Amino acid sequence: MKLPDECCNLGDIRCEIDRLDSEIIKLLGHRLAYVLAAAQFKKSEEDIPAPERVKAMLADRRVWAREAGLSEDFIENLFEQITSWYIATQIEHWQKTRGQVKGASHG
């Protein structure tokens, strides 16, 4: 790992950006694991979107963006996209896992 001011050329910069992007993707995967685990605590599919939680979460992300010197609007938009996809994925997971449980009880 090189700090930005330690990079000697564009190749070094690109290598570090690729390394960071790889870490971000791995972290998104870890986050997804928690999102899917949360499905077990949802009583119904309608509980999954949790709009009040999303609203509070996005407000927190705006604060964190400001503290990090990043655009609050960009980070909010990014997390809206992330959250939207995770909600859809959690709904799909909830339907599959609850469907298996229901199907097993009829068998």
Which positions make up the binding site? 14, 31, 42, 90
Closest CA to 36 of 48, 52, 22, 25: 48
With beta carbons less than 8 A apart as the criterion, state whether 89 and 32 touch: yes
Q: Is the dihedral of CA 43, 77, 64, 33 positive or negative?
A: positive
With beta carbons less than 8 A apart as the criterion, state whether 89 and 36 touch: yes
Feature table: binding site for substrate:
14, 31, 42, 90
